[in-house]
Amino acid sequence: MKPQTTNLLPLLAASLSSASPLSILLPPICPTVGLPATRAAQVRAAFQSSGIVPDVLTSINPTTELQVLYGNIPENLGNTFSALQTLQEPTISFPPEPLHPPSTKYTYIQIDPDAPGPSLPLLHSYLHHIIYNLQPSCVFAQSPVTQARYMPLTPLSVAPHRYVSLLFRQPAGLGEYKPPALNLVEDVARAPFDLAALY
């Protein structure tokens, strides 16, 4: 059973919360606002105009706002970063998805469909990062698991690459989630990463 795509590429705002000692004893208060229709349309348009649909995904139906921050700079539907700005692993956050409890878990995946260069992408869909068991940012006691450690965005070409950040909802009610096996040999065999076959 495939998890549904909930949001892709970076989006804007994040939901921030503060905690008191009492909040550890109480369930998280997670306001759910959902992704406005205008923002969802912007995401779909950006993915289509950049060729992410159909190069990486057949379609996209964003339902929450994924924020990927490099330092204090967010990814935002096609903005440009230097390789130096992306040396450190990004911070990932998102608010609760409508109609799903805050306990819902998600998998974050980042890939580069243009490696080693956009004109000749021989390493199409190079895998940069996978983290599973992520939860909305209002949930303080989380236990995310890194399946593929972060590889900095250091393309071998001068031309800019498209880096795609995706968030998938994990299946619920099936016991402990086991992600698809990657068979990575350290960090050597990261391409081609077949997103459609695994997710």
CATH number for position 174: 3.90.280.10
- Looking at the chain, the whole-number percentage of residues with pLDDT higher than 90 is 35
Q: Which residue did the predictor score with more confidence, 116 or 148? A: 148
Which residue range forms the structural domain that includes residue 8?
A: 1-15+30-199
Q: Assess whether pLDDT exceeds 90 at residue 18.
A: no
Judge whether 97 lies within some domain.
yes
Q: Based on the structure, what is the number of domains in the chain?
A: 1
* 91 falls within a domain: yes
Pick the residue with more confidence: 117 or 47?
47
Q: Under 8 Å CB-to-CB from 124, ≥6 apart: which residues? A: 113, 114, 115, 191, 192
In a domain, 153, yes or no: yes
Q: What is the pLDDT of residue 92?
A: 95
pLDDT at residue 19, as a whole number = 36
- Does 106 have pLDDT greater than 90? yes
Q: 30-88 pLDDT, tens per residue?
A: 777 789 999 999 999 999 999 999 888 899 999 999 999 999 999 999 888 888 888 89
Report how far residue 11's alpha carbon sits from residue 30's, in angstroms, rounded to the nearest whole number: 19
Residue 24 forms part of a structural domain: no
Confidence of residue 185 (pLDDT cuts 50, 70, 90): low
pLDDT tens for residues 149-163?
898 876 566 778 888
What's the pTM value of the predicted model, to 2 decimals? 0.81
> Are the CB atoms for 13 and 67 separated by under 8 Å?
yes
